[in-house]
Structure 1
Amino acid sequence: MKIPYEYAIIQAVPRVERGEVINVGVLLYSQRAGFLAARTHLDPERLRALDPDADVPAIAAALASWEKTCSGAGAAAEMKPGERFRWLVAPRSTILRAGPVHMGLAADPAAELERLEGLLVR
């Protein structure tokens, strides 16, 4: 049986004023399955193509925090999974942001997250 989920692509915007982005991860939330997770992949060469001076280690560390937030680490410890998802996809003007939220149906949210990451990020 397939269940509904929501997902958003995590984007790196190394030079906000230019508006150029690369996909660096996917967030997936399924309320029915109680599932929230992110899969990320930062390609330093692609990032530097947009901004040769990009601080790759700092951006990689910030990106890793998205996965930790999904698991409830740090400031997100008291938040429910749906609250964490909404917090992560809220609009922001930073180097990392979430794109629009999309809907889908899948039997296995974890497998769907892996599929989406391979399709949209790698």
Structure 2
Amino acid sequence: MQEKHLYEYSVIRVLPAVEREEFVNVGIILFSKKAKFIKVYFALNEKRLACFSGDLDFEQLKSNLQSFEKIADGEKSGGKIAEMDLPSRFRWLTAVRSSVIQTSRPHPGMSVDLEKTAKRLFEDLVL
């Protein structure tokens, strides 16, 4: 029997006009401390985001979201935060912000296949 892993996930959101508090889900972060697993998936639907605001810099948004991936993956190009341990990286990525890119509060779950669960959550909540 496969072991079930406790995980937490958070939805990555873009708020084109922060003051209006309207958002579009663009990604997920899934983390499991025991399994030493963290994964970020994102996709920018420029057409959908443009409906909220025509002033978005999509190249900057993409660059910032790629930074989330680098930090999660512990890449050197992710800076000092990417050098932190896995739980600290997840907590930093999911910290409350008042910027164009924000995350939901973390939600718990159990999974025998964390990669598959991350992909399913991404498809269900973002795509």
TM-score range relative to shorter protein: over 0.9
Please state if 1:121 is matched with 2:126.
yes
Alignment of 1:1-122 (within 5 A): 1-73=3-75, 74-122=79-127
Q: Distance in 2 between matches of 1:78 and 1:57?
A: 25
Structure 2 CA distance for aligned equivalents of residues 39 and 66 of structure 1: 9
1:75 to partner: Cα distance: 2.0
Deviations 1:40-73 (A, max 9, x none): 0110011101111211111111111111110112
* Uncovered stretches (5+) of structure 2, i.e. residues with no partner: none
Aligned-pair identity (%): 38
Aligned equivalents of 1:111 and 1:76: distance in 2? 26
| Shift of residue 2, structure 1, vs aligned partner | 1.4
Equivalent residue letter for 1:33? A
Q: How many residues align?
A: 122
| Distance in 2 between residues matched to 1:109 and 1:5, nearest whole Å | 8
Report the CA distance between 1:78 and its aligned residue. Answer: 2.4
Q: Deviations over 1:71-120 (max 9, x none)?
A: 11222232001000000111011110111110000001111101100000
Distance in 2 between the 1:104 and 1:77 partners?
A: 25
Q: In structure 2, what is the Cα distance between the partners aligned to 1:67 and 1:11?
A: 15
Deviation at 1:7, TM superposition (A): 0.3
